[in-house]
Chains A and B, each alone.
Chain A
Amino acid sequence: MSLLDNTALRALVTGVFTLLVLASIAGWILSRRVTTGAGRTTVENINARIRAWWVMALIFVVAVAAGTVVSILLFVLISFLALREFVTLAPTRLADHRALFWAFFVVTPLQYYLIWIEWYGLFSILIPVYVSIFLAIRTTLAGDTERFLERTATNQWGLMICVYFVSHVPALLTLRIPGYENQNATLMFFLVLVAQLSDVFQYVWGKSIGKRPIAPSISPNKTWEGLVGGIASATAVGAALWWATPFSPGGAALMAFVITVMGFAGGLIMSAIKRDRGVKDYGALIQGHGGVLDRIDSLCFAAPVFFHLTRYFYTP
C-alpha cells in the first residue's frame, strides 16, 4: 500500500530494478566475452552475486511495501540468521547454552517488539544495559569459569552487532520527522540503498583500479582506490537522492558520506573477526556473497549512527 502511495519510494524502487536489469545485461555480456580461467571464475562470481541481489532486492521491496510489521519481521529474521552465524564462530561451551537460548528466543523478539511499540527509551538500552547484566548472570550461574571472560564478552558483542545494531534499521520507522510524515519507509530504503551501493561501488572500483591495500593483514581486497572511489560514488548518489529524504542536498550528501564511512569500518571489523576465527565467510546462505553477516556487515555499523544523527538533527 505505502509503496503505491509514495512517489519517492516508487522512484527508488524503480531505480533499483533498472540498475539490476542493467547489471544482469552487463553480467551476461561479460560471461560471453571473458574466456580465460581466472577471469571466468570472477565473472561467474559476479553473476551469482547479481542473481542474489535480485532475490534480496525483491524480498526487501516486498517487505517495505507490506508495511511496518512485515518490515520489522524481516529484520527479526535477518538478526536471527546473523546471530546464528556469529554464535557458530563463538567459543561457546555447554554452560552458555541457556543464555544463548534466551538471546535467540527472548532478547531478539523483545528488542523488535519494543521498536514496534515505539518505546525508544527502552529499546535503545535493552541490550547494552539490561541484557548484558542478565546474560552475564545467567552464564555465571551455570558455573563454568573456563574462558569465562572471552565467552561472555563474545556473546554480548554478538547480540550488539547482530540484533542491537541491525534493529536500528527498522527503528527509523518510529521517528517523527516534521514535514516527512508517513514516509519513513523511504528513509529506511535510502539507508539500505546507500550502504549496499557503497559496497558495490567499493568492489567495482577496487576490482578495476585497486592497487594499494588498506589493511592487508585483515582484508587484501580492500584498497585505497576502492575506498575513495566507493565513498565518492555512494556520496554522490546519496546527494542526488536528497528529494527522497527529509535532508537538504548537502545534508543528504553528508549523511551518505557517514553511511559509507561507517559501512567501510563495519566491513573491516567483521573481516577482522573472520580472520581471528580462521574463516573466509560467515556462511553460505547467499550465493556468491557468503553468509548474511557478510552482506550486512556495513549496514550493521552504519544503521545506529544514521539513526541517531537523523533523530538528533531532524526530530523535535
Chain B
Amino acid sequence: MIATALAAACRLISGAVVEWHCDPDAEAQRIYFANHSSHLDFIVIWSALPPRLRRLTRPVAGRDYWDRGRIRRYLARQVFSAVLIERRQSGSNTVLGAARAAVRDIGHAMGERHSLIVFPEGTRSVNGEVGPFKSGLYHVSRLRPEAELIPVFLENLNRILPKGESLPVPMLSRVVFGPRLDATGGVDKQQFLTKARFALMQLKAKA
C-alpha cells in the first residue's frame, strides 16, 4: 500500500519514461546496477519493474543514511526490505573486513528468489556523470554467478532531487534497462568493472 502510493508520487515527480532492452518479466534472479545521483533512484527503478517482481527486488543501500530516523528506517526495512550495508569505517583493517561482510550480506540477501538493485559507484554523483565503479559489484557477481547482471541507466534524476537538497522539483526522467551483461570467462576485476561501466554508459545513447 505505502509502497504503491510512494511509487505513484514518484511517478508524478519524475515522469519516468521506461525503456526495456531485455525481458522485463524474466524469472531469473537479477542484479540491476545503475548510475546513482539521487535518493529517488531506487524508487524510480523499483516502480519501473513489473508489480509482480517489485516484491522480490531488494535495493542495497547505505546503513548510515537509511537506518537513521524512524521514517527512513521504516521505509528501508518494512516497505522496500532494503539490504543495509556499512559504508563508513575507520582503519584499513575494518574497511576490508566490513567490505567482505557487506558482500557476504548482499549475496545472502538474494536467497533463492530475490533480485537486487545496486549502485556500484557507491555514492551519489553531483553533476549526473557516471563515476568509477567500486569493486563490490565484481565480488557480488562472483558470489552469485547465476544472477543476470542488468545495467540500468537513469537520466535527469540529479536535477529532480540532487545531492544536498531535501525537496524534489518535478521533471521528466528516463529509465533504460539494458541487455544482460555478459560476464563469463576469466575476466579480472578491473576488466570486469570497466566493462560493466561501459555497458551502463552505452545506454545513455540508446533512445
Contacts and interface: CB of A to CB of B under 8 A. Distances in A.
A170 B168 CA distance: 27
Interface in B157-205: 159, 162, 164-165, 167-172
Nearest to B126: A94
Interface stretch (A84-92, A124-132, A219-227): A84-92
Q: How large is the interface on B (under 10, 10 to 19, 20 to 34, 35 or more residues)?
A: 10 to 19
Contacts, number: 35
B15 A87 contact: no
A97 B172 contact: no
Given A94-B162, A97-B162, A87 B17 contact: no
Given A88-B156, A92-B159, A97 B15 contact: no
B171 A88 contact: yes
A80 interface: yes
Contacts of B170: 80, 83-84, 87, 104
Given A97-B162, A285-B15, A87 B156 contact: no
Contacts of B164: 94
A284 interface: yes
A interface, by DSSP: helix, strand, loop or mixed? helix
A84 B171 CA distance: 5
A101 interface: yes
A22 B15 CA distance: 33
Interface in A213-237: none
A84 B167 contact: no
A87 B162 contact: no
Contacts of A83: 170
A246 interface: no
A292 to B, nearest CB: 10
A92 B12 CA distance: 20
B165 A97 contact: yes
A283 interface: yes
A84 B12 CA distance: 9
**Most A CB within 10 A of own CB, among B164, B168, B169, B172:** B169
A84 B165 contact: no
A283 B15 contact: yes
Interface in B64-92: none
B169 A104 contact: yes
Interface in B1-18: 12, 15, 17
Q: Which 8 A-B pairs have the closest CB atoms?
A: A84-B170, A100-B169, A88-B172, A88-B171, A101-B167, A97-B165, A101-B169, A87-B171
Interface of A: 80-81, 83-85, 87-88, 92, 94, 97-98, 100-101, 104-105, 283-285
6 contacts: A85-B172, A97-B162, A97-B169, A100-B169, A101-B167, A101-B168
Given A84-B15, A94-B164, 15 more contacts: A81-B15, A83-B170, A84-B170, A84-B171, A85-B172, A87-B170, A88-B171, A88-B172, A92-B159, A94-B165, A97-B169, A98-B165, A101-B168, A283-B15, A285-B15
